[in-house]
Amino acid sequence: MFTPRKILVVITPTMGYQQRILSGVYEYARPLGWHFRKVPVLASPEIFDMLQEWEPDGLLMLSPDHRAVLELEPSVPWVQVGGEDSPGIRCHVGYENEQLGEIAAEHLLTKGIQSAVAIGNSERKLAGRRVSGCKRVLVENGVDPVLEFDEIKFKETNLIPHLPWISPYPPLIELFARMPKPLGVFGWQDSLCEWVLEQCYQNRIKVPDDLMVVGVNNEESICEMTFPTLSSVHIPFREAGRQAAHNLNLMIHGGSAPRRLRLSSSGLVARESSRRIPEEDSWVFSLLRLLKNHETCRWDMEEISSALGCSRRMLERRTRRALNRSVLDLRQEARLDYAKELLTQDLYSIEGVAKECGYDSVRSLQKLCREKLGCTPMQYRQKSRLEFEEEGKSLFRLQDAGSRSGFFRTASERQLQSESGQRNRR
């Protein structure tokens, strides 16, 4: 009789990117038939109870705060994903943090910045490495000055800690004001850049005309909801999940896994916060706004230039000068983005998606998807459905594990469970 391996997963529920790590874990573990239980890192006493009572075969630590697990000194194999490395960790799957900063710097250099501010966190070593990589590339390429700023300064003076977006921080704005323009700003993670963009909005700083912002993580729940949308360096979270599960599987079967594994980023996702266009190119601004309207996906080039009130030739020349891209390329990107959105839904067949996005035939859409996404439209739809199902199962498992661990119980129920656990341990 087949007995599935029991795997305990410790997470931080508020960190959305961990769902992408879990997708990689599930992708690797699905053929192995692993049985998962998840527990929030905040419920550290329940982690001990899980280790004692459920007796898992292995443990995956997705939360960057691994102290709760280190203090328990688990006897089972375990792998840390992300966060800081430390001597007590048996296997750590992390990222090339200096490279993340280097990618951000290289992107900002293409925008002609005259100065830069790199914002890190003195309490996080990985933040320092990201800032160091960014600063080194900028200085080597003649950007001066490049100043560092510590996120902790803001946190120490924040008068409304649960609502940081409405808390003004004049020292940062004053720093931005005296720096030569255009100014590039690098933040070690997206949530920090979300706050920076809000500060800029409240103080009427023009982004991206005078100041451009680039973050790290490419967490879409943040990047797509900032104003303007946030450019961010992609981190291979899904691959990290696969590698962590693979290493844990090796350790469970008595094999040896690398003590440390570092994954490289595949690049940066450019959005509005760093798409700087000269002010005289108002037509290019108008073009980008126009292409965001899904109705224009079916327009031909003549209809687009006519709607903007200029000739096709002039629009093409100005777009190439401002963005180093053609109008046709931008329209193709807009069509593909709309197609990806429709493919995640069930409103249209593949043929209907192609027609709605302005393609002459399904073959045209298939060709573009293979070139840009590495799969067919049907494969992309199936993959999106699978990810959606996994996220739903992930939430159910979290609630299920939380109810068993006491995380979602009342205070009195948790106290009774704690007292019972203490008696058992005696």
Query: 3-class secondary structure for the chain?
Result: CCCCCEEEEEECCCCCCHHHHHHHHHHHHHHHCCEEEEEECCCHHHHHHHHHHCCCCEEEECCCCCHHHHHHCCCCCEEEECCCCCCCCCCEEEECHHHHHHHHHHHHHCCCCCEEEEEECCCCHHHHHHHHHHHHHHHHCCCCCEEEEEHHHHHHHCCCCCCHHHCCCHHHHHHHHHCCCCEEEEECCHHHHHHHHHHHHHCCCCCCCCEEEEEEECCHHHHCCCCCCCEEEECCHHHHHHHHHHHHHHHHCCCCCCCEEEECCCCEECCHHHCCCCCCCHHHHHHHHHHCCHHHHHCCHHHHHHHHCCCHHHHHHHHHHHHCCCHHHHHHHHHHHHHHHHHCCCCCCHHHHHHHCCCCCHHHHHHHHHHHHCCCHHHHHHHHHHHHHHHHHHHHHHHHHHHHHCCCCCHHHHHHHHHHHHHHHC
| Residue 420, domain member (yes or no) | no
Mark whether 110 and 219 lie in a shared domain: yes
According to the 3-state scheme, what is the secondary structure of 103-121? HHHHHHHCCCCCEEEEEEC
Segment among 50-54, 353-357, 380-384, 407-411 with least mean pLDDT: 407-411
* Mean pLDDT (whole number) for 40-50: 69
CATH number of the structural domain spanning residue 210: 3.40.50.2300
Q: Is 411 part of any domain?
A: no
Flag whether pLDDT at 33 surpasses 70: yes
The pLDDT of residue 159: 45
Residues facing residue 38 across a β-bridge: 9
| Residue-wise pLDDT tens digits, 245-296 | 999 999 999 999 999 999 999 899 999 999 876 555 677 878 887 887 888 8
pLDDT-derived band at 68 (thresholds 50, 70, 90) equals: low
Asked if pLDDT for residue 231 goes beyond 90, the answer is yes
For residues 157 and 46, membership in a common domain is answered with no
* pLDDT band at 93; cut points 50, 70, 90: very high
- Summarize the confidence of residues 331-350 as an average pLDDT: 88
Least confident interval from 311-315, 320-324, 416-420: 416-420
Average pLDDT, the chain: 83
How many domains does the chain fold into? 3
We report the CATH number of the domain holding residue 316 as: 1.10.10.60
The confidence band for 410, taking pLDDT boundaries of 50, 70 and 90, is: very low
The pLDDT of residue 411 is above 90: no
Residue 43 has pLDDT above 70, yes or no: no
Select, from the ranges 20-34, 66-80, 267-281, the one with the highest average predicted confidence (pLDDT): 20-34
* For residue 58, pLDDT beyond 70: yes
Same domain, 292 and 179: no
pLDDT at 322: 76
- Evaluate whether residue 395 is within a structural domain: no
Is the pLDDT at 306 greater than 60? The verdict is yes
Which of 141-155, 194-208, 375-389 holds the top average pLDDT? 194-208
pLDDT in tens, 346-396: 888 999 999 999 988 999 999 989 988 889 999 988 888 877 666 555 444
| Alpha carbons 284 and 271: distance in angstroms, whole number | 15
Is residue 75 located within the same domain as residue 122? no
Higher per-residue confidence, 331 vs 166? 331
Q: Are residues 184 and 225 in the same domain?
A: yes
Residue 54 pLDDT: 83
pLDDT above 70: residue 233: yes
Q: Domain check: are 105 and 91 in the same one?
A: no
Give pLDDT, residue 405: 43
* pLDDT of amino acid 391: 53
Same domain, 105 and 205: yes
Inside any domain, residue 408: no
Instruction: Give the amino acid at 365.
Output: L
What's the predicted TM-score (pTM) here?
0.69
Task: Verify that 154 and 178 share a domain, yes or no.
Answer: yes
Q: pLDDT above 70 covers what percent of the chain?
A: 83
The per-residue pLDDT for 42 is: 63
- Residue 300 resides in a domain: yes
In a domain? residue 204: yes
Residues 85 and 108 in one domain: no
- Which residue is associated with the tokens 């720093």? 175
pLDDT beyond 60 at 417: no
Q: Which of 224, 255, 274 represents a domain boundary (last residue)?
A: 274
Domain match, 174 and 294 both: no
pLDDT of residue 207 exceeding 90, the answer is yes
For residue 344, the model assigns a pLDDT of 86
User: Domain ends where: 340, 355, 374?
Assistant: 374
Task: Answer whether residue 202 is part of any domain.
Answer: yes
**pLDDT exceeds cutoff 50 at 325:** yes
- Residue 117 structural domain: 97-236+269-274
Indicate whether 387 belongs to any domain: no
Flag whether pLDDT at 421 surpasses 60: no
Is the domain of 127 the same as that of 208? Answer: yes
Asked whether residue 308 falls in the same domain as residue 366, the answer is yes
